Copies of this chain bind each other. A is one copy, B any other.
Amino acid sequence: MPSALTPADFEELRQLLARFAHVFDNGDTEALEEVFTDDGVIVLAGPGREFHGLAAIREFNTSLGELSPDHHTLDTVFDVDPEDPYGTVRARSRYLAVLPDGSVHNGDYVDVLVRTPKGWRIAHRRSVPRHPVRVG
C-alpha cells in the first residue's frame, strides 16, 4: 500500500468517489465543486464527449435531466503517483449505472484525484463503458 497516504486520506478518497453519485444524480450542481476541481475534466470514452471545467460539467449534469442514469461506484484500487506521492492519486473503479428503464450498464472509471486546500477532488475522470459497449 502507498505509504504517503494515511488511513484518513483513503477514507476521504472513498467518500469523495461516493459523493459523486449523490451530487450528480440529484442534479445538485452547486455541490459539484465538492467533487471536482475547478478545472476538472470528464471524458466519456464511449460517445467520445469531453467536459472541461466545472461550468461545463454543471451544464452536462443539467442537460441529462430525467433521462440521467443513477451511478454507483465500487471496486476502487488506488495508486499513488510517484511524482507527487502526497498529492496525486490514480484510482480505478467500476461503475454500475441503473437507467430509467431499469437496465444496468457497467464500466470503468479511471480517475486522477488531487489534494486541494479544500480536500481531495477529482481532477480528471475517464469513463469507459464495458456493457453494453466494451472498449479496450
Give A residues with C-beta under 8 Å from B: 1, 6-8, 10-12, 15, 17-19, 21-22, 25, 70, 72-78, 92-94, 96, 98, 100, 102-106, 108, 119, 130-132
Contact = CB atoms under 8 A, between A and B. Distances in A.
B100 A131 contact: yes
7 contacts: A15-B76, A22-B77, A25-B130, A70-B94, A72-B75, A72-B106, A98-B130
Contacts of A76: 15, 18
A91 B73 CA distance: 16
Nearest to A119: B1
Contacts of A74: 18, 72-75
B73 A73 contact: no
A75 to B, nearest CB: 4
Given A1-B12, A15-B76, A21 B94 contact: yes
Contact of A106 (B6, B70, B132): B70
Contact of A102 (B15, B17, B70, B131): B131
